[in-house]
Amino acid sequence: MAHAHGYAVKDAQSPLVPFQFERREPGPHDVCIDILYCGICHSDLHQARDDWSNSLYPMVPGHEIVGRVTAVGAHVKKYKVGDLAGVGCMVDSCRHCSACAADLEQYCEEGATWTYNGTERNSDQLTFGGYSDHIVVEEHFVVKVPENLDLKAVAPLLCAGITTYSPLRYVKAGPGQKIGVIGLGGLGHMGVKFAKAMGAHVVMITTSPDKGKDAKRLGADEILVSRDPADMHKHANSFDFLLNTIPVGHDVNPYLGLLKLDGKMGMVGVLTPIDPVIGGNLIFGRKSLFGSGIGGMAETQEMLDFCGQHNIVADVEMVSIKDVNQAWHRMEKNDVRYRFVIDMATLG
């Protein structure tokens, strides 16, 4: 075992505090990564507070990890010492079920092994995430980071990026499509950038007209204020796809009215109950409502390569690890544009 240090929560009520722990030594297929940057995801806070009733403590959060390879196992093929590398939300899966065989490890039928708040497949050892100095991950669950991108702003691509990229690919987003992105936060701002880069006509759908200006800077062609009935009426039955990033339960029925015939809405933000869906809102217009979670490893690599080609990164605000509790507090109030990233050099 190798010594590691980072920040952890000890229970659902406590703040993040410095934490010493052990990680495994790299095995034959493992890559050891010195963590340079780690993004702060809303789910870090949800899991730390046990909002989903599945939390394991002590918990070292963090699944938007970018760093440099410091060691590789004897059988590692794609990475060498000194390479840039990324790790996202998962570090293992069964590797043989139909989902894994289809490069959709995030939907592993046995359950993927999450980067933190999980246990390793071959032991009871807790997995510890990226609010730490280094991480050891099997090569298959590591991705290459394009050298031309601003590294600190790459970190959020590993969760917020792939979470929005994957459903856009699933609906074959491209020229000629009208795509709406609902909610302008960590996920939504990436959704706007990707949908625009894929060639779609992009509409930012928000409750707050103030956010409109910034959405245009990010690439939105139009703004739709969802609280304005006239605006909603103007866009009725016109969208091919809606990317719904709202992180809490809400009424999706008004949004279904924006979809045209065969239109689809993909839910990526909310894990808790949503208000009842009126069947007629799906039936009349043959509309679909689906959910999408992160992306498989192959698609995560494709997303990073796409970002390298189109020069896409997240809009980030840097924080020191010592200020991480304050950053969580601000994130709770939506006071971030659009993602906090921890500079892990501040860990000391």
What residues make contact with Zn ion under the rule CB under 5 A?
41, 43, 93-94, 97, 100, 108, 159
Whichever of 108 and 151 has its CB closer to Zn ion, that residue is 108
Return the closest-CA partner of residue 261 out of 243, 240, 279. Answer: 240
User: Minimum Å distance from CB 297 to Zn ion?
Assistant: 12
User: Minimum Å distance from CB 325 to Zn ion?
Assistant: 18
Whichever of 100 and 220 has its CB closer to Zn ion, that residue is 100
Sheet of strand 288-291, all strands in order from the earlier edge strand to the far edge: 222-225, 201-206, 178-182, 239-244, 259-267, 288-291
Q: How many helices (H) and strands (E) does the chain have?
A: 11, 17
Whichever of 85 and 203 has its CB closer to Zn ion, that residue is 85
User: Minimum Å distance from CB 339 to Zn ion?
Assistant: 10
Shortest-Cβ-distance residue relative to Zn ion: 41
Whichever of 94 and 126 has its CB closer to Zn ion, that residue is 94
Whichever of 164 and 226 has its CB closer to Zn ion, that residue is 164
Return the closest-CA partner of residue 140 out of 82, 100, 167. Answer: 100
d(CA 115, CA 123): 15
Residue 77: both structure tokens together: 């093929």
Whichever of 45 and 94 has its CB closer to Zn ion, that residue is 94
User: Minimum Å distance from CB 100 to Zn ion?
Assistant: 3
User: Minimum Å distance from CB 197 to Zn ion?
Assistant: 21
Whichever of 108 and 243 has its CB closer to Zn ion, that residue is 108
Q: Which amino acid is at 144?
A: K
Whichever of 88 and 263 has its CB closer to Zn ion, that residue is 88
CB atoms within 10 A of CB 141: 21
User: Minimum Å distance from CB 41 to Zn ion?
Assistant: 3
User: Minimum Å distance from CB 332 to Zn ion?
Assistant: 15
User: Minimum Å distance from CB 56 to Zn ion?
Assistant: 17
Q: Answer for the pair 30, 76: CB distance below 8 angstroms, yes or no.
A: yes
Return the closest-CA partner of residue 45 out of 33, 32, 59. Answer: 59
E runs forming strands in 59-98:
65-72, 84-87, 90-92
- Residue 206 region by backbone torsions, left for phi larger than 0, else alpha for psi between -120 and 50, else beta: beta
E runs forming strands in 232-309:
239-244, 259-267, 288-291
Residue 268: both structure tokens together: 């990526």
**Does residue 144 sit in helix, strand or coil?**
strand
Residue 159: both structure tokens together: 């969760």
